[in-house]
């Protein structure tokens, strides 16, 4: 070995670091929570909730509350045993004598789930989860209630800032744990929780653990003017889950529920299945409440048993003739959930996609065989319908096979045949290639002219794809554009799909940014989700993001995706040379905001604008809501909390009691209390709670903290309550690279944003694209196809059950259900193209 030269980089013992405490999690969050994106952010919530569910599975908890605060925090509360607060007894001097709750929150691999003493069954295996929450949060507060006493402990970025202390001694019986945390903006790129994703997981957990009540409260106001407040509790367990999955579908069999427990081995399985008129199966598998998308031994046992039992019954009853249904035939239209709970689960990887415990397969198979055999004998009519349905599926499979063979003879599905309209790429390296599915020949021409010929293929499709939601495979294969798409991908379709044969590493849907483009994209996604699900599950499907605008300044240009990004772009252009000034009543500048403090103000103003639109949609002029602060009977200047509406007008009240009194004074009754008098209904009024006022008040407080004063009418107009003209307190100080500084006045707080955008528009030209076909090939390459500059959205199935249900609602045949969905979400629409 040669001696190191003087030029060699130094590498000595001094370069070796030992990360103490939770610092390793903050340095490498991807190793512990999977990254710093939204999935990782939500993982923090799931870690807290899973601990509460483990308490429930052990029989010590019955309710869980998950609350998202308007300050961006999350609180998880349960009524379990409460984290232990007594001091640790250990030979390790590092933890000896410290409160157990402190060790649980701050020491890696410390927990009560390494043996079966505290928890017989749990999802946690490594004693890491809750430490990730603590390490990756700006602050974490834990409150434990035990033996009539409440204890508290606080951390900041994983470090103890307030040791365990007694909060109060109330003498109230019971126990439980409350964990509140604020995700750290230094770690996560986006710290705003998504209610839909969290609600999906919480609903799932409530079904998997029957009898447990899980309440989800999101204090942020939605577009309908209400916070999200739902409680999930179902005594039927996964049987209720299957019924929920099948809402909106035509039911073809009762729901069959199977439960079995082996106390000696600690095994428990819950199975529920039901047939519908759908053409695809919907099979969900769970091990210790953890979703296993790749199935595993429990799914293998389920499939083998289902096929064997039903075919044996059909043969015994003389229903089968020549064609014997396969397992795939028997699972067509089947919605099923298989959940097992066991002491020592083994998974194929850290993300637990597949369960490997061999003892589970036989346990599940035996349980289903016994229960399903008995059920079929007790329900001969339903059993016969299930068998006949499977025979029809087998006949359709044979018809699809013949259709495939006919198409192959025509060259459409052969291994070597490619569609004529496909502009293929020259590379044979699947991992580096991609195919763009584009809308029409015009867009296809631009894409072909601008693409990378080595790695990018272009497939233009004519018109709109067949809605495959209710179609069997033989009808799907008869549609020409689907033949073309399947022919181009070469990986097969339906049960014969082989992802190893996929000719391209990415399948990218590229449509116009209008209603027709959205419809075509939805039809394509429906086809891929129902007939090529494995491509979606493995993350091979992407959606291109063509720009809506081009911003030109001199010789430089920038492409902008949508209206929201356009506002951000204008703001960024203006902020290069602008600072916000706050002036006194006499006009002197008392504060100048720039940098991160200014951006915080702008974020608050954006949310203020969203809430103002929510109020307007509910029929309340925002100015009226704000002016009512001066009428607050308590004198505290707060916003009203209730809105009363009737045919003669409306009023705002600061409490429900005040609203009832005001209605009574006018000789009316609220509609929920209305009674018929002598056959005629009384005059009715409706009471609506002003949920948005809580968040508005918090925004006002935060704006004051930033130096933006909130006075009586500064939020909406220039005049005060008395009608006097108010002095302009805000403005933008523009300091150009050349020339003199300029002060652009903003008449009120909402005008701060509008004025900023106007400043950003100076000296630029904005072009709006109508479609991909109108873009030059070079423009399409620069904006949408160049891997170095483009933005792609990966299609994932993190909430597969909700996705399947939504496809059924939007693409199925139940018109009343679709109308109800549209009406329920109508107020959420911001950009409507009619």
Residues serving a catalytic function are 439, 512, 514, 516
Task: Indicate the DSSP class of residue 419.
Answer: -
Pairwise CA distance, residues 690 & 641, whole Å: 5
Query: From the centroid of its chain, how far is CA 175?
Result: 32
Pairwise CA distance, residues 176 & 61, whole Å: 8
Pairwise CA distance, residues 745 & 752, whole Å: 8
Task: Indicate the DSSP class of residue 486.
Answer: H
Asked if 78 contacts 176 with a C-beta cutoff of 8 angstroms, the reply is: yes
Pairwise CA distance, residues 436 & 544, whole Å: 9
Pairwise CA distance, residues 135 & 43, whole Å: 13
- The per-residue DSSP string of 106-163 comes to HSTT-SS-SSSSS-SS-S--SS-HHHHHHHTEEEEEEEEEETTEEEEEEEETTEEEEE
Residues making up the chain, counted from first to last:
834
Asked if 360 contacts 340 with a C-beta cutoff of 8 angstroms, the reply is: yes
Pairwise CA distance, residues 513 & 770, whole Å: 8
Pairwise CA distance, residues 325 & 307, whole Å: 8
Strand order in the sheet with 159-169: 159-169, 149-156, 137-146, 176-183, 74-78, 63-68, 213-218, 228-232
| Structure token pair of residue 31 | 């190793």
Which residue carries 């045919």 as its tokens? 647
For strand 642-646 and strand 684-689, is the pairing parallel, antiparallel, or unpaired?
antiparallel
Asked whether the CA dihedral 810, 811, 817, 822 is positive or negative, the reply is positive
Asked if 392 contacts 328 with a C-beta cutoff of 8 angstroms, the reply is: no
**Which stretch of DSSP H or E encloses residue 516?**
helix 515-531
- The per-residue DSSP string of 41-52 comes to HHHHHHHHHHHH
């Amino acid at each position: 070995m040669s001696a190191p030269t003087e030029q060699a980089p130094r590498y000595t013992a001094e370069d070796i670091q030992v990360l103490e405490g939770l610092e390793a999690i903050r340095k490498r969050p991807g190793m512990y929570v999977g990254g710093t994106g939204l999935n990782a952010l939500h993982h923090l919530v799931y870690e807290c909730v899973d601990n509460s569910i483990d308490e429930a599975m052990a029989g010590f908890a019955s309710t869980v509350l998950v609350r998202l605060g308007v300050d961006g925090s999350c609180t998880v509360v349960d009524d379990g045993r409460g984290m232990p607060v007594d001091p640790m007894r250990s030979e390790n001097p590092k933890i000896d004598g410290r409160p157990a709750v402190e060790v649980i929150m701050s020491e890696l691999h410390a927990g009560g789930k390494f043996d079966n003493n505290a928890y017989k069954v749990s999802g946690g295996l490594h004693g890491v989860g809750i430490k990730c929450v603590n390490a990756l949060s700006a602050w974490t507060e834990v409150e434990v209630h035990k033996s009539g006493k409440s204890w508290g402990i606080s951390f900041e970025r994983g470090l103890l800032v307030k040791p365990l202390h007694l909060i109060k001694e109330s003498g109230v019986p019971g126990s439980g744990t409350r964990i509140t945390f604020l995700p750290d903006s230094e770690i996560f790129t986006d710290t705003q929780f998504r209610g839909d994703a969290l609600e999906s997981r919480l609903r799932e957990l409530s079904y998997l653990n029957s009898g447990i009540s899980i309440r989800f409260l999101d204090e942020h106001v939605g577009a309908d003017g209400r916070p999200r407040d739902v409680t999930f509790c179902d005594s039927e367990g996964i049987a209720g889950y299957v019924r929920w999955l099948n809402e909106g579908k035509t039911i073809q069999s009762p729901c069959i529920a199977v439960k079995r427990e082996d106390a000696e081995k600690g095994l428990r399985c819950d199975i529920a299945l039901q047939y519908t008129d759908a053409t695809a199966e919907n099979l969900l598998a769970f091990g210790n409440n953890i979703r296993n998308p790749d199935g595993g031994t429990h799914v293998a046992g389920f499939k083998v048993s289902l096929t064997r039992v039903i075919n044996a019954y059909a043969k015994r009853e003389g229903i089968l003739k020549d064609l014997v249904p396969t397992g795939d035939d028997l699972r067509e239209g089947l919605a099923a959930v298989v959940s097992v709970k066991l002491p020592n689960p083994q998974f194929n990887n850290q993300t637990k996609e597949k369960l490997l415990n061999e003892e589970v397969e036989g346990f599940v198979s035996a349980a289903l065989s016994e229960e399903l055999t008995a059920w079929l004998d007790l329900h001969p009519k339903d059993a016969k319908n299930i068998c006949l349905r499977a025979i029809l599926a087998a006949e359709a499979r044979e018809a699809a096979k013949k259709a495939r063979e006919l198409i192959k003879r025509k060259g459409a599905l052969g291994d070597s045949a490619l569609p004529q309209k496909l502009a293929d790429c020259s590379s044979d390296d699947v991992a580096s290639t991609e195919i763009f599915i584009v809308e029409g020949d015009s867009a296809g021409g631009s894409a072909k002219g601008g693409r990378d010929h080595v790695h990018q293929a272009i497939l233009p499709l004519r018109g709109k794809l067949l809605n495959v939601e209710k179609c069997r495979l033989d009808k799907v294969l008869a549609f020409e554009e689907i033949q073309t798409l399947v022919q181009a991908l070469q990986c097969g379709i339906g049960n014969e799909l082989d992802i190893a044969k996929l000719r391209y590493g990415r399948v990218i849907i590229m449509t116009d940014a209008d209603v027709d483009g959205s419809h075509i994209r939805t039809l394509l996604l429906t086809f891929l989700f129902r007939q090529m699900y494995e491509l979606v599950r493995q993350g091979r499907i992407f959606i291109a993001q063509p720009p809506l605008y081009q911003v030109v300044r001199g010789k430089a240009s920038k492409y902008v995706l949508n209206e929201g990004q356009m506002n951000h772009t204008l703001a960024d252009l203006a902020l290069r040379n602008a600072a916000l000034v706050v002036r006194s009543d006499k006009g002197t500048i008392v504060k100048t905001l720039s940098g991160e403090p200014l951006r915080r103000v702008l974020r608050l103003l954006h949310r203020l604008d969203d809430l103002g639109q929510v109020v307007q949609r509910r029929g309340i002029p925002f100015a009226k809501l704000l002016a009512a602060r001066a009428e607050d009977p308590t004198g505290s200047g707060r916003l009203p909390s209730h809105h009363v509406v009737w045919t003669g007008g409306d009023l705002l009240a600061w409490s429900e009691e005040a609203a009832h009194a005001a209605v009574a004074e006018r000789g009316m009754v609220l509609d929920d209390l209305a009674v018929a008098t002598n056959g005629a209904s009384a005059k009715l009024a409706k009471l609506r709670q002003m949920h948005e006022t809580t968040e508005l008040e918090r925004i006002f407080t935060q704006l004051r903290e930033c130096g933006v004063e909130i006075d009586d009418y500064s939020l909406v107009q220039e005049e005060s309550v008395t009608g006097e003209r108010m002095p302009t307190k805000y403005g933008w100080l523009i300091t150009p690279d050349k020339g003199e500084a300029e002060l652009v006045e903003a008449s009120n707080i909402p005008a701060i944003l509008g004025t900023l955008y106007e400043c950003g528009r100076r000296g630029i030209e904005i072009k709006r694209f109508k479609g991909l076909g109108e873009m030059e090939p070079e423009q399409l390459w620069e904006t949408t196809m160049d891997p170095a500059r483009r933005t792609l959205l990966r299609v994932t199935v993190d909430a597969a059950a909700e996705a399947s249900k939504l496809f059924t609602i939007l693409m199925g045949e139940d018109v009343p259900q679709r109308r109800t969905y549209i009406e329920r979400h109508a107020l959420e629409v911001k950009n409507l193209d009619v």
